[in-house]
Chain A
Amino acid sequence: MKNFFRKLSLIILFFGFLSNSFAAEKVEYLKTDWSFKGLFGKFDRAALQRGYQVYTEVCSSCHSMKYLSYRNLAEKGGPEFTEDQAKAIAASFEVKDGPNEDGEMFTRPGKLSDKFVMPYENVKAAQAANGGAYPPDMSVLVKARGGGVDYIYSLLQGYEEPPAGITLDDGVYYNKYMYGNKIKMANQLSDGLVEYADGTNASVEQMSKDVTTFLMWAAEPHLESRHRMGFKAIVYLIILTILVYFSMKRIWSRVETEV
């Protein structure tokens, strides 16, 4: 068995080395302490609520979140607004519904069961309003980008004057973390842009962190229960493995071969 593990660990080391050399080619992203990482990682409720505020007040004018519903805002493991708060949030949006009995489409205040209202009617409309670039849907954005949360967090703070020698077309901006450094979204965040209800100072860094946390939850709404269940499952498996190991030893003690 020793031999088996020696070889296995060599192979694992090799893969570790490989993945390290992959990582070496990437840009160093800004780092921050994400509360949702690690074995017991959980979302910071207040950060999620602030992040939702940043999303609605800043991002949502261009970026849709088509897989989220207002009810999600009150669900466990999320921002956990109270149900009344979530209802009020939903009601603050005009939702297109219909057709009614007369065959007419109409608008009504949003309900918990409604999906997040889309900023544009369709992709073409979104492109027309944004110089040909389609602002991507943000529901799973964190999982759809190589660097994940670190990438989004860095990108939001990565706007700079372009280095000498780089000319930018109209409507194109320089961002040191964007792939290829050219981005069609202008810098959106500035200190004090939103007024947080809980009095937190709305620095660019704070808003980036909050909205990225919110996006992480949007992409992985069951992250907390996944971590909780994972811990239980692995502890259970380890205990069972130990018990089975000793039963195995006992059974194999009847023959002289080692296991």
Chain B
Amino acid sequence: MSDHEYTPKSKVGKWFNDRLPLLTLANHLTDYPTPKNLNYWWTFGGILTFCLITQIVTGLVLAMHYIAHADMAFDSVEHIMRDVNYGWLIRYIHANGASMFFLAVYIHIFRSLFYGSYKAPREIIWIIGIIIYLLMMAAAFMGYVLPWGQMSFWGATVITNLFSAIPLVGEGIVTWLWGGYSVDNPTLTRFFTLHYLIPFLILGLVVLHIWALHVPGNNNPVGIDVKKPSKDTVPFHPYIVIKDGFALLMFMIVFAFFVFYTPNILGHADNYIEADPLVTPAHIVPEWYLLPFYAILRSVPDKLLGVVAMLSAIFILAALPWLDTSKIRSAVFRPLYRQFYWILVADVLILGYVGAMPAEGLYLLIARVATAYYFLHFLVILPVLGFKEKTLPIPLSITEPVLGGSPNLATAKKREFK
């Protein structure tokens, strides 16, 4: 929190603030000292907040017209698309908004991986972030079920069936999840309920995420602790507000392009066929943002172990602050980690690609190698790297990269990654 005490100027303001310090909070948010060298990868936090609010607002309107019933859900979606005023716009924003949300969250996560934002003292921010990410996946999955198309139905069948891999109680759990002996109306209504609930849980966690962020303050591209407030920081308003706003607008242009010109490209054509429990689609594919995990799931021949591998792939991220043994945060000063980082990025993209392909032949082999490498990166490479890697000298502050006219001054400046 900021160091100086805030007192409102007006009497009324002071009276109110003494009873509920909302004005102190507002003042803290505007004055919040932010490192001035944050680059554009840091703007995705604000973009994600925008995505969440967009999903909640459009979702509320959709929920007014949508009917959560197996016989009427598909019809009600078409009703929204055809007869509700601007229903097509609201639905396309919501559907593409999910993809944009995940695009932003992946950039946000990989930014954190590059600059070591998960390291002490920011472990709690990171873990809350992982929980948000998990809830996002749950919300997105259940949201995809609601139109009750073929992919909705069969995606729900495949994913809920994963729980049957749990020994002894698995089958019982699946029946309990379905509310019956197959994916049917009870499944749809509970998915709708949860899909409505989860965004508000996410909203609460986002508040905690930001609160936890405001205790140590932002990490930055150089990855060093910044004295606040100082020559190294700028107040959040107007500097960061305008910069985040600019980045958000560019993001919105891409978003708008999808919504208005290729609204269905990220979805699967089969989801415009009404759910039919008697006809299985040729390929059951999840949405693009879940593909890497789907690839991990299918790369393990055993069902239970596959589920374990898939879940571990997510939960391993929560242990990241302790798996990464390096004291240096930013990859800018970690020449070896930087290379492994880009290999990991490629690895996840490859997993996503093979996740969309049939699990057979060469694709399966690639999926297995990529899965093995994913775990190798976190369980072996990261812990070992912290001890073995020879890091570059880090600057003492952002404005004066290295004290005492060190020869590395130029390097440090150049590496700031603007």
Contacts and interface: CB of A to CB of B under 8 A. Distances in A.
Contacts of A143: 264, 269, 272
Of A1, A145, A237, most B-chain CB atoms within 10 Å: A237
Given A241-B246, A251-B238, A1 B78 contact: no
Interface in A42-95: 67, 72
A140 B80 CA distance: 14
B239 A251 contact: yes
B54 interface: no
A3 B417 contact: yes
B245 to A, nearest CB: 6
B298 to A, nearest CB: 18
Contacts of B89: 226, 229
B256 interface: yes
B58 to A, nearest CB: 15
Interface in B236-279: 238-239, 242-243, 245-246, 249-250, 252-253, 256-257, 259-261, 263-264, 269-270, 272-273
Given A234-B260, A257-B37, A241 B269 contact: no
A146 interface: yes
A143 B272 CA distance: 6
Interface in A134-191: 136, 139-140, 143-146, 148, 179
A240 B261 contact: no
B260 A226 contact: yes
Contact of A140 (B238, B239, B260, B272): B272
A244 interface: yes
B253 A251 contact: no
B253 A1 contact: no
A219 B418 CA distance: 46
A227 B256 contact: no
B82 interface: yes
A197 interface: no
Interface string A247-259: 1100110010111
Nearest to B398: A257
B256 A234 contact: yes
A144 B271 CA distance: 7
Contacts of A128: none
B272 A39 contact: no
A233 interface: yes
A133 to B, nearest CB: 12
A245 B247 CA distance: 9
A258 to B, nearest CB: 6
A67 B78 contact: yes
B242 A244 contact: yes
A120 interface: no
Contact of A238 (B40, B253, B261, B353): B253
Interface residues of B, number: 40
Interface in A218-234: 219, 221-222, 226-227, 229-231, 233-234
Contacts of B269: 143-146, 148
B259 A230 contact: yes
Interface residues of A, number: 43
Contacts of A233: 256, 260
Contact of A234 (B78, B82, B257): B257
B289 interface: no
A259 B36 CA distance: 9
Given A4-B40, A252-B239, A237 B261 contact: no
B114 to A, nearest CB: 10
B337 interface: no
B182 to A, nearest CB: 19
Contacts of A234: 253, 256-257, 260
Contacts of A67: 75, 78, 82
Contacts of B270: 144
A160 B88 CA distance: 39
Nearest to A219: B272
Contact of B40 (A1, A144, A245): A1
A245 B245 CA distance: 9
Given A227-B260, A229-B89, A144 B272 contact: yes
B234 interface: yes
A12 B341 CA distance: 18
B411 interface: no
A106 interface: no
B41 A248 contact: no
B305 to A, nearest CB: 28
A245 B253 CA distance: 14
A143 to B, nearest CB: 4
Contacts of A1: 39-40, 418
A241 B249 contact: yes
B127 to A, nearest CB: 27
A222 to B, nearest CB: 5
B194 interface: no
Given A234-B260, A244-B242, 7 more contacts: A179-B282, A226-B260, A230-B259, A230-B260, A248-B246, A251-B238, A251-B242
Interface of A: 1-4, 14, 18, 22, 39, 67, 72, 136, 139-140, 143-146, 148, 179, 219, 221-222, 226-227, 229-231, 233-234, 237-238, 240-241, 244-245, 247-248, 251-252, 255, 257-259
14 contacts: A3-B418, A4-B40, A67-B82, A143-B272, A146-B269, A230-B256, A230-B260, A234-B253, A237-B252, A240-B249, A244-B242, A248-B243, A251-B239, A255-B234
Q: Which 4 A-B residue pairings sit nearest by Cβ, starting from the closest?
A: A230-B260, A144-B272, A241-B249, A143-B272
